[in-house]
Structure 1
């Protein structure tokens, strides 16, 4: 009887050790997407506040647009705001879901409430997502998105493009060698 109860105690301890909680999921994740036109998007998902922020930059590094979405309990965007590169609110978006909790449609509205774009999500009989269809409902209602300001005084042109020939920079003075500094030997 003692060996049987000792066996169950050891078995209980072993199962308790294996049942320790796994490492928690990182509350913030980020992803960069590079596009064929050399622009890129940076997406940050914060699971503690259920927010998603996406910033799109031009090839030159100027902020083109910024999108801020609220996420539902499954981590899917439900509604959001779209800002231009200068930080001005230019549009709002709303996501609609089907009875299975999958995104069915996303509508984008300008500040006057007019829908200018719909993205329709469809799923096959096996439940796999098909490529989304973008419908530009009223292109005249689309907001104008202005890029952010770039400080061109800090950038240098590519070699050979718009660069004026310059005299070579003078070489910096030669430093003393290690042993020269160590023993105080003077350079000539």
Structure 2
């Protein structure tokens, strides 16, 4: 699709949570929320339905992502053998190649997503405007487009205080008893 110069504004190099519809080529963003930045720019989160399970390569396909499951992948109230097509997962991890995402943690979403629905959280690229006047940028190497002029400031501000948790737990002993903070 041809492009024109843009004054797209506040999509450039920001951390967003985007909920939208994956059409096989790009994600149409219906809801865009600003998020706190991560330490590493290739970190992110994916929520969506399992479209395919590749047991031979230890991977699941969710939208544009081939999610790699390694020995280091942590499963929360779930086991690898519990995974099945159509199940909605939330996956935290790092993206590497264009479509590969290494899972750090996998949990089952409380609510099931409709087929094609996808939620991604990550660092955005610089944005541009297409000739159809939709803004375009990438998040986690996924092409995203929207007709919105910016992120939803109101929804970005109303978050639970416990949304941002530490990456690692801090453990120590106190009076001979174990104490765990965070995580």
Return the TM-score normalized by structure 1: 0.20
Say which structure is richer in strand. Answer: 2
Q: Which of structures 1 and 2 has the bigger CA Rg?
A: 1
Q: Greater share of helix residues, 1 or 2?
A: 1
Give TM-score, length-normalised by structure 2.
Answer: 0.20
